[in-house]
Structure formats: C-alpha cells, structure tokens
Structure 1
Amino acid sequence: MHLPRTRTGQRRAVQAVMLLCVLALLPSAWLFTVSSDRLRTAEDVPPTGVAVVFGAGLRGDEPSPYLARRLDAAARLYHEGRVEVLLVTGDNSREDYDEPDTMRAYLTEQGVPDTRIVSDYAGFDTWDSCVRARKIFGVDEAVLVSQDFHVRRAVALCEEAGVRSYGVGVADRRNVTWYYGTAREVFAAGKAALDAVFRPDPRFLGPEEPGVARALADAG
C-alpha cells in the first residue's frame, strides 16, 4: 500500500477516512435516535399485552447465561402484571437445536403458565422475529426483552416492522461476551439499516398463527 506523499494527497486521504468513519456510524446514530424515547425499565414499562423475548443461544439443553437473564426479566414482567403473554422467538433450524422450546421450559420453571407462552420457531434474526411477530402472530404492540446493547436495535426494527415497541434492556456483567456483543452491534446496525430500507421477507414466513390471540383471550 502506497501512502500519499504530497500534503494535498495526505489531506484527502484523512478526509476519506473520516468520511468512512462517519458513514459507518450513521446506522448506530439512527438506532439511537429511533429508540431513545422507547426504552423503559421493568419498573416503569407500561402494561402491555405481549412481551417478545429474543433468543440468545443455548448451552446444551439449557439457555445460555445471557438468554437466562432475558427470560428472568420476562418472567418478572409477567408476575408483576406488566405483560400477559410471552412470545419467545428463536432458532429451531435443526432438530437438535431448539431455542423456543428451551425458553418455554425455563419460563414454566419460573412459574409462567404454559398457556401464556407462545413459540416462534423461525426467529432466525432480529428482523425476522419482528416481522413475524407482526405478520404471523398479529402483534401490534409489545415489550421487547433483550440485553441493553441489543435492545435499541430490536426496538428500531420492530417499529419498522409495524410493532409499537417498548424496550427493556437487561443489564449484564461487563465480561468478554458483553464487550463482544457491544462491538458487534456497530456492524449489526448496518444490516439493520439495510433491513429497514429494503424490508426483506423473513427467511421463513408461513401462515398466520392464532397463538398470541388465544393466549390473550385466555388471560382475559
């Protein structure tokens, strides 16, 4: 790689690098702006019919520590009467990996009735989960439960998908995984912006499902 030798060339190179940095950060700025007035805590989130809990990996047949903390927060929202139904969305792309059923089992152990839990087996990424929540499960308003570094992106994408959203961010220890997740969000923000602009269909859409409506009716 040859660096510019003239001052003019060096100045232009610096300007080009600065422009690239600004462009790279624009999607993150968009996420921050869109979600800034939609974030709540478990104590002040308004009562809402549905909470959407996003998958975050498994360890064998158990939720990963990050996923377990999301589920703990969702169970708390349910038991405190903030939400009535939990929509658990995750990856079940192969037979030996089933996030939604693992999430359901964990929640029932936390005292959430099975009839108040609805599973989305094709929540392969955040955009897919948001679109499917709206188009397949008929959710038009929800509390979104995820780690604090991810919840802004979840809110922005669900808003774009037609789901009026409140984000409850789960605080976590600042360990290697947390720093990795935070850094990853800079790149994920770019994909989120593209999803919002081009609005691709989910990897799997399928027919509408009445599970959320039935669970809400049962709750009523």
Structure 2
Amino acid sequence: MRTFLKKHFKKLIYLSITFLLIIVSINFYIVQVTKEYIQTDYTKLPNVDAIIVLGAKVHEDRLSYVLESRLVGGINCMLQNKANAILLSGDHGQKNYDEVNSMRKYILRRKFPIRKEQIFMDHAGFDTYDSMYRALHIFGIKSAIIVTQDFHINRSVYIARSLGIKAYGLAIDESMYKYHLQLNWKIREYVTRVKAFKDVLINAQPTFLGEKIPISGNGLKSWDTIKSVKK
C-alpha cells in the first residue's frame, strides 16, 4: 500500500485538486445563474402560477422551525396575491411520516384566508429535484415562487429553471439558527448542488410520477385518502 501511494502520490494530488475544482466551479455556477431571481422580501417578487413550499423535518404533526419558517413565507406570498395556488411538496413516503399533511393542517388550524381548493399537495417530493420535476409534469406549473432557506434556495431555483419553470426564490433568513447548524447546511449543500447539476444534465426521472393534477384546477384532488404513496 505504501509503495502504491509513493508511486501515485502526485496523481492522487492532481485528482483531488481537480475534483475540488469541479465542486467549487459547479457551486459558483449555480449561485451565479440564479442570484438575480432570488429575493428576501416577498413583496418584490412577481405574480406566478403557484407558490411552492419545500418540505423539511416534522415531528408527528408538529413542524420543525425550519419548515414553519418556509410555510409562513409561502403563506405571506399567498396573502399578497402572488399566486392563486400553493403547492406543499415534501416526503410522505411512510405511513407514520408526513410532511405535506402536517403543512396543510398548519394552514387550516390557523384559519388563514386561503381556500382549501387553493392548497395542492405533492406527497412524493422526496428531494428538491423530485419536487421541481413533479411541479412541472404533474401539476403543470409554468411559473413559481419557491420558498426555502437561504442555503437551499439557489439549488432549488436552478433545478426549476433548468427543467423549464420560470422560477423565483424567496430566501428565508437562517441567521437565528446556531452557527454549527448553518455550517453543516452549507457544507452539505456544496455536495448536493453537484448532484443537482448531474440530475439536470442526465434528465433524471423522479421516484414517482402519476396522474396529472393541474395547478389551475381544484387542489382537493391532490389531497390523499391513502396515508402514504408507498405500500
């Protein structure tokens, strides 16, 4: 092993540097091509077909602070009449774990002036790419405001625009979270942006597709009577 390392040490160094440069370049590219479409003030965003709120951790029906912040941002966009529909996209792949219904219940419990038929649910938004692909191909969304935290927003807008959605981003402030959490998100995002770039490049398919539910129609058609999308 030592002989191999000595013999190929320079090659390994060059390969490591090349790999690092690829990661940095992809991250730089994704941030640069999306930054003009991102705002922190929802009043500055244009009117669109739908608001897309991306799922995050829930504890039974209780939203994590991360997800609650996203959902409140999406609700504010709806209350500003930025769209006539809100798409709640998240992980409902298990019977006892349900991000989308937890978001729906949050909206209804607090009696926001959003009609039930305006609330659309994507139960198979298992990752950001799946959410955006399904937003286009299942819900027929042509333009959208995507709501998520700052660390995640560039990748979300990049995927959506690469797939053909005229997407804008509402970046939710994350400065209230502990430094180690913010650092962990940013490090992980460096890797997931590379995956997003690859998924777009190869036109990856989502985990599930299914019946079309036009965003211009009735959101109640997307509400589930079955408890999860997986058997």
The TM-score with structure 1 as length reference comes to 0.88
Larger mean Cα displacement after TM superposition, 109-118 or 42-51: 109-118
Q: Spell out the pairing of 1:1-220 with structure 2 (5 A cutoff).
A: 2=2, 15-40=14-39, 41-108=41-108, 109=110, 111=112, 112-172=114-174, 173-175=176-178, 176-210=180-214, 212-215=215-218
Is the CA contact 2:43–2:80 (under 8 Å) kept in the aligned structure 1? no
Q: CA deviation at 1:202?
A: 0.6
Q: CA deviation at 1:11?
A: 7.0
For structure 2, the 5+ residue unaligned runs are: 220-231
Q: CA deviation at 1:12?
A: 6.5
Give, in whole Å, the separation in 2 of the partners of 1:114 and 1:136.
19
Q: CA deviation at 1:80?
A: 1.7
**Structure 2 CA distance for partners of 1:213 and 1:24, relative to 1, 3 Å:** same
Larger mean Cα displacement after TM superposition, 181-190 or 170-179: 170-179
Superposed CA RMSD in Å reads 2.0
Quote the residue 2:226 is aligned against: none
Give, in whole Å, the separation in 1 of the partners of 2:204 and 2:14.
34
Q: CA deviation at 1:63?
A: 1.1
Question: Identity of counterpart residues, as a percentage?
Answer: 26
For structure 1, the 5+ residue unaligned runs are: none
**Structure 2 CA distance for partners of 1:10 and 1:46, relative to 1, 3 Å:** same
How many aligned residue pairs are there? 212
Is the CA contact 1:56–1:67 (under 8 Å) kept in the aligned structure 2? yes
Q: CA deviation at 1:165?
A: 0.3
For 2:76, the aligned partner's letter is R
Q: SS where residue 123 of structure 1 aligns?
A: coil
Q: CA deviation at 1:14?
A: 5.1
Q: CA deviation at 1:180?
A: 1.6
Give, in whole Å, the separation in 2 of the partners of 1:119 and 1:92.
10
